[in-house]
Amino acid sequence: MAQRRMVTIDGNEAAAYIAHLTNEVCAIYPITPASPMGEHADEWSSLGRKNLWGTVPHIIEMQSEGGAAGAIHGSLQTGALTTTFTASQGLLLMIPNMYKIAGELTPAVFHVAARSLAAQALSIFCDHSDVMATRATGFAQLCAGSVQEVMDMALIAQAATLEGRVPIVHFFDGFRTSHEIAKIEEIDDETVGAMIRDDLVQAHRARAMNPEHASVRGTSQNPDVYFQARESVNPYYGQMPGIVQSAMDRFGELTGRRYRLFDYVGAEDAERIVILMGSGAEAAHETVDRLTAQGEKVGLLKVRLFRPFAPEALVAALPASARRIAVLDRTKEPGADGEPLYKDVVTALAQTMAEGDAPFGEMPRIIGGRYGLSSKEFTPGMVKAVFDELDAERPRNHFTVGIHDDVGHTSLEWDAAFRTGSKEVSRAVFYGLGSDGTVRANKNSIKIIGECTDLYAQGYFVYDSKKSGAVTVSHLRFGPDPIRSSYLIADDEAQFVGCHQTVCLERYDM
Spans in the chain with pLDDT lower than 70: 1-3, 467
Query: Residue 472 carries which side chain, given as an amino acid letter?
Result: T
State residue 471's pLDDT score.
Answer: 87
Could you give the CA distance from residue 58 to residue 81 in angstroms, rounded to a whole number? 11
Q: What is the DSSP letter of 480?
A: S
> How many other β-carbons are positioned within 10 Å of the β-carbon of residue 354?
10
pLDDT digits (tens, 9 = 90+) for 131-150: 999 999 999 999 999 999 99
Question: For 403-470, where are the alpha helices, taking DSSP H only?
Answer: 438-452
- Give pLDDT, residue 184: 97
Name the CA dihedral angle for 172, 173, 175, 181, rounded to a multiple of 10 degrees: -50
Q: Tell me, what DSSP letter sits at residue 115? A: -
What are the C-alpha distances in Å from 443 to residues 34, 183, 476? Answer: 18, 12, 9
**CA 51 – CA 158 distance, rounded (Å):** 14
pLDDT digits (tens, 9 = 90+) for 367-383: 999 999 999 999 999 99
Residues facing 168 on adjacent strands: 109, 140
- Which residues are 462's β-sheet partners? 473
Radius of gyration of the chain (CA): 23
Which has the closest alpha carbon to 445: 421, 426, 465, 471? 426
Provide the whole-model pTM: 0.96
What is the reported pLDDT for 215? 87
Angle, vertex CA 320, rays to CA 317 and CA 324, nearest 5: 95
The separation between the first and the last C-alpha atoms of the chain, rounded to the nearest angstrom, is 48
Distance CA 279, CA 182 (A): 13
Q: Sheet harboring 140-143: ordered strands across?
A: 58-61, 25-28, 82-86, 109-114, 168-173, 140-143, 305-307
